[in-house]
Amino acid sequence: MIGIRLATALFAAIWGGVASAAPSEPVIPGVEVLLSDRIDLVQGMRVGLLTNPAAVDRKLVSTLDRLRGDSRVKLTQLWAPEHGLAAATPNGTSNIKGIEARTRLPIEGLFGDRTAPSAEALSRVDVLLFDLQDIGSRTYTYVSSLGKVMQACAAHKVKVVVLDRPNPLGGTLFEGPVRLPKYKSLLGWGPFPVTHGMTFGEIAKFYNEELQIKAQLEVVAMKGWRRSMVWDDTGLVWVPTSPGIPKPLNATMYVATGMVCGSGPNCNEGGGNAMPFELVGAPWLDGERLAAALTHRAKDVSGLQHVRFRPMTWLPWHGQYDGKVTHGVQIHLLDLHDFRPLRLALIILSVLHDEFPSQIKVSSAHRFGMIWGNDDVLRDLRAHKPWTHIEAAWQKDLDGFAQIRARYLMYPP
């Protein structure tokens, strides 16, 4: 079994080696550190903010409200990522532009026709604060927006300050193929694996140096966070980052099932259900057979020993198979510290292609490649190659990424 074996010096142990204890000190988000220790980064300047409601302090006060209520901060411009300033709109939306009703500040959405701040909006600011909560996946568009924002700010000589937050998947595990250049998009902008085990602050440093963006970059680090922490270890309260990620579990499962049904196959991952990303199914599937096959294939596999599959039938109320009775499995995680989400995604896809070859269909090979980052995964699945073969094929690139990644890590194990 080929896994990720990296030196401790690279802070890259696989989840499950040592269970995280309760934090010995509180995890303090970057916004609180900014206002207590680094106000010099914004005081006396015109400040822009890219954020949504998931960016909160430990008392659940949003970054937007913290800054608006601080006389030392002069907010002059807002930006919103995909899903909008309220993180409430469906996938693929946030093309707003105008005056935000509550604050009366100008606002731009950074998704759709416009994916980077305009010159007009940047002319209103001296510094842009970036404060979003990530979920740790290359395909979640906020990490791509970070790179696009940095490029625009560098071109217009606007300082970028990233207010750091935890990676809910933790800071040690990274899996998957490194994205090929031809598949660069907002669903995979950064040249790294599907999961990267980095915070936005670390990724900003990675972007700035590895992509030669040369932005005027500052990162306000968290206090108290360690790489071994998954979200439940932080003591922080989860606020939905988008409509499909209402809980930390959904953020964890986003990679496991989103990389399956979200990459183009004719299946539903729980969209239009109260358990988004916890399910895999389709009207044509046999849930009992799928659960048995997944249980057999995942048996004794590292990172999946605490995963259980339960047959389930549901009726999606929107999205794939809207209004159609859907059969499949609910995935139960018993230990978040010993979980390999992308390995699970690969095994699910392998089972679907091996057990249901005449029924599984991929709508677009290009979309599949764009989500996974290369062409090899789909080709090998269709050839019924073992999942271990597919995983081993990206190990060399992962090892190279590990060496680069180590230069930008900011937090202890």
Q: How do residues 350-369 score in pLDDT, each as one tens digit?
A: 999 999 999 999 999 999 99
- Label residue 315 left, alpha or beta by phi (over 0 means left) and psi (-120 to 50 means alpha): beta
The pLDDT of residue 95: 65
The pLDDT of residue 93: 58
Residue with tokens 């002059």: 76
Give the pair of three-digit tokens for residue 158: 């606007």
Q: How much is the mean pLDDT over the chain?
A: 93
Question: Distance between CA 85 and CA 100 in Å, rounded?
Answer: 9
Question: Computed from CA positions of residues 66, 71, 72, 74, in that sequence, does the dihedral angle turn out positive or negative?
Answer: positive
Q: What is the mean pLDDT of residues 255-263?
A: 97
The pLDDT of residue 221: 99
Q: Give alpha helix (H) positions in 262-340.
A: 287-298
Mean pLDDT is lowest, of 78-82, 84-88, 384-388, for: 84-88
Q: How do residues 91-117 score in pLDDT, each as one tens digit?
A: 765 567 889 889 999 999 999 889 999
339, pLDDT greater than 90: yes
46, pLDDT greater than 60: yes
pTM for the full predicted model: 0.92
The pLDDT of residue 82: 92
Angle between helices 142-155 and 200-210 (to 10 degrees): 50
3-state helix, strand, coil in the chain (%, to 5): 30, 15, 50
21, pLDDT greater than 80: no
What is the set of domains in the chain, with CATH numbers?
A: 14-240 (3.40.50.12170), 248-374 (3.90.1150.140)
Q: How do residues 204-237 score in pLDDT, each as one tens digit?
A: 999 999 999 999 999 999 999 999 999 999 999 9
The pLDDT of residue 23: 64
Query: Where would I find the beta strands (DSSP E) of 265-381?
Result: 279-282, 307-314, 326-333
